[in-house]
Structure 1
């Protein structure tokens, strides 16, 4: 029987494994779109995006569907953005534009955005401290963020 895992015996590689994939490598990205295919009772990424958008106030739906930004290493799978666009388009109301944006470096993009935001002079006013939350609870968030 062919083993897919190779365990190293060297102390230099004590915690490393090699996973050999053939046709399985095509199934890995598919899990993001159809986790139920492997027995995971969760929404796929297109359904999760649509659910997240439709959980927001109705007046924001057109803007959110038109501004979907892909970040993270999994977005680098070949054809990922095209597939996601097709699936979200099928789930979105027909009257809304659906636009998927793909930054030049999706792996670092979120971090870069956070780094830029943290240098903004207004950044501290966008935060709720632990002390504020412990004193006022959810109300401080509702007041500060108009929720």
Structure 2
């Protein structure tokens, strides 16, 4: 049984069209981080979203870590979140000098159990970080 099972197949433009699109990257030597395409995407997103400020991040972890840092919470403060998440959620909290406090999940959609949050709130609680799970 030597059959190939193709799970995904990338949608690719014509090779010449692709080369033309990325040619200016060779001229500038910037692939990301404020390069031509990076700036173009930010500008188009600002227009599409009708906003004046857009910041692109390499990944969701960096975005979450920076968002938490922007609040400038007192070090050692507690952040309620769910343990049923990618480890990056807890990591972003801890990297900001904050203490994660885990709230159990509900058995219906596996998101944070809102009926259990209030009992976890203390005078050290500064935030609640829920996460989406399976589209919920």
TM-score > 0.5 by shorter chain: no
Higher helix proportion (structure 1 or 2): 1
The normalised TM-score by structure 1 is: 0.28
TM-score by length of 2: 0.30
Higher RCO (Cα < 8 Å, 6 or more apart):
2
